[in-house]
Chain A
């Protein structure tokens, strides 16, 4: 009965996270799902994963969501979905029926026993998973760094005229159109031969 309450609470939190208008509310409902899933995992005997899920899922990821929402803004979007809601509900019913048909009943599962500890399984049997995790973390760090640095290049191209005219000298008599900062940087080596010709 306890499992039914926990899982039903997680499902209600999931529904509220999807239906919430505010992004911050959605992130907080997601933290509620993580907490309830962590409780369920703890009740199932997976103590280590429950602690990791509670600290990472309900802690770190929620902080990341709040941080991203504070930067991007918590503007509610009331746009209509591209897929009709009735079609989505129909697809979900088909999905649930297929998954339930494949999974249920669950009487045929027998406990085969496994006396190995988590550290033995994690570091010996599933050692390749650790390598994949390391690669994943490295890829994630490089992806975030790439995303954050990619913003500088198009932003320079769209920089308004106020930034570029300040760096230009005043001898243009106001006739030349202001150029973006990237054009200034790229044009600097080309301007060098002209200076050499004048001196020659």
Chain B
């Protein structure tokens, strides 16, 4: 036990004396959450718009003010003729243009329908899609409010379940937490083991009475503690700054986080058995772990819209299952009876990695 304590003490000293490690451990989670939370949102506000109002009457004015008061659009320019539209797009001052035809008000109330034209800058296809979507929504409700449409045979009343305001931050907090836990657990442990090999102290440890199991646990335990600290920081930020809900059981969430950390730590040990230097360990972790995790976990790109082969591939990414689990617990408030399948998969992968890494760690010695 004293040997173990001596080892743990030493590991913590390594961590707290290295500025780079500290920065990754404590700076990055906060920066990432804030960055993803504030800067990268999928909802668009204040889309810059130009209007070419050829009708110039009260109804068209009402229509325009309805659009600008929605919060989604800012009226950047009032245009005089068609030629100016393209000019403004080229200058990049606007993202979308609206053309109200000369007959706009006159045609209202008759059987003839009015056509307004919307032109969007599709060099950013996502934004173009969303802005035209918003605009047609506003146009419809304007038409209904003014009695222009008597009755629409079918209306859709949509309700955004579990995330009523459709906030993208609810997606990013679990995602960032997953990435950070993966990074801290897998990358940092693989680097610290590789570091001992690089400076030659690993040999000394192996010759010493320390058992390989103790060396592994001693390496892993400090990062387990720190990963928990990180998870806590990220969740707290999520609650306080972004108003993340916490519907489900905290204990279940805690256990699932523990499970994911263990699976990442064992992955880190597995990497360290293959890497002789810190650089290799870092490269393997970043390219082999981080990239697939970010791309295939469903964190940023929805898995449903991936090609089939990538969808199948995404199943081997533990992060995918973990993201499903935390979202289910935090947003939907479900219990283990719903997410047991994902949990079993995580347990399975953890066991697989642990067995593999112990096996490889031993064979390296022989």
Do A and B belong to a common assembly?
A: no
Residues in B lying within 8 Å of A, measured CB to CB: none
